[in-house]
Amino acid sequence: TPEPYTRTQYCRWPCQCPRSPPRCALGVSLVTDGCDCCKTCARQRGESCTEADTCDFHRGLYCDYSGDRPRYEIGVCAQIVGVGCVLNGVRYKNGETFQPNCKYNCTCINGAVGCVPMCTNSRPPLVWCPNPKLIKMAGKCCEQWVCDDSRKIRKTSPRHISSAAYEGEDEAWQKNCIVHTSPWSPCSKTCGLGISTRISNDNDQCRLLKESRLCNMRPCEVDITQHIKPGKKCLAVYRANEPMNYTISGCVSKIPYRPKYCGVCTDNRCCTPYKSKTIEVRFQCPDGTEFSWKIMWINACFCNLNCRNPNDIFADLAHYYDYSEIAN
C-alpha cells in the first residue's frame, strides 16, 4: 500500500511580510500573494507558480498545474486563451509583449492593448533651472530636460542649448560659443555647510556641465534672534565679530575668513541671499595634502514676505528665481 502523500503547505499564517514591498521589474505587476498576505511580484509566462506565488493576471496569465499530476502543487504560468490585438495594422497574439516604438512596451491581453512608458523621466528639473525644455537628443529615444534662460539669450538659445546637449559631437558653431550659465540653486541646508549647484557651458568644449560650490546660509550654533535690534522683527545680514576658518572633513582653510550670513525674522518672513559671489578657498589636511573648493560668499540678503513657514527658505521655491541672485 503506497504511503499517503502529504501536500506541501506554501502558505503560513499568521502572515510574515517584509517592511516594504519589493520593487518589480518594468511591466511586472505588484500583486497580493495567493495566501492573501503580502505584496509580491507576479510570476510571468513560463515561470513556476504555486498557491502562494501567483501568476500575473493583469497579463492574462493563470497557473497551469496539468504537468504536475497527481500532486498539482507546482504549475507553470500560461496564457489564457483569448482573442489577439491589432495595433497600427499589425496583429499580435493574446499575451504577446511587443514595442510599437522605443518609447513604449506593450502587451496584448484578450483584445486590449496595455502599454508601459519606457521614458520615465517626465518631471522637469528643479525650479532653479530657468525655462526647462524637453529636447530630442542625438542617438537617444527619450527627450531630455535642459535649461534655457531666455532672459539672457533669446533667438539663439534653443539651437545653442539643444546642440550643446548632444553627446560625442563637435559642432562647428562651438567656435563662436554663446556662454550660458544658470543661476545657482538654493543651498541644500538652511544652516551649516551645504551644497549649491548650477549648469554652465563656460568651458573649452562648450558643453553643459554641472558645477557645485559649498554654501552656508547661517550658522546652526548661533541664535541670531538675539542680535535683532529692539523694536525690529528681522535681521537681514548677520556677521560674526571674529574671523573663522572653514573646515571640511578635518581639513582647515589656510587663511581665516569673516563671512556674512543671511539673518532671521521673528515673523513669517525668511531671509535669502540676493547678491553673492563665488570665492576659491584653499584647504590643508592633517596629512599635509591640500585642495581647493568653491564657496558661496554672501554680500547681501533680503527678507521675503512670501514664505509660508517662518525662516524656511524652501517653503516657496516656486518664486525663488524670480529674485535672481547676482552671482559670479
Domain boundaries, the chain: 30-79, 85-117, 193-315
- Give the angle 174-178-184 at the CA atoms, nearest 5°: 120
Q: What is the pTM of this model?
A: 0.43
Are the C-beta atoms of residues 230 and 199 closer than 8 Å to each other? no
How confident is the prediction along the chain (328 residues), in pLDDT tens digits per residue? 556 667 788 888 888 898 898 999 888 889 999 999 999 999 998 999 999 999 998 888 889 988 888 788 899 998 877 778 888 888 888 878 888 888 888 888 777 787 878 776 656 655 456 667 777 777 788 887 777 655 443 333 333 333 333 333 333 334 456 677 888 888 888 888 888 888 888 877 777 788 889 999 998 888 988 888 888 888 889 988 889 999 888 899 999 999 999 988 888 788 888 788 999 999 999 888 888 889 999 998 888 775 544 344 444 343 333 333 333 3
**In CATH, 85-117 is 2.10.70:** yes
Contacts of 184 (CB under 8 A, 6+ apart): 128, 196, 197, 198, 213, 276, 296, 325, 327
Are the C-beta atoms of residues 227 and 271 closer than 8 Å to each other? no
Residue closest to 84 by CA, chosen among 60, 118, 120? 60
85-117 against 193-315: fold identical? no
- What is the CATH T-level fold of the domain 193-315, as seen in this structure? Cystine Knot Cytokines, subunit B (2.10.90)
Residue closest to 104 by CA, chosen among 124, 88, 89, 123? 88
Distance CA 195, CA 213 (A): 6
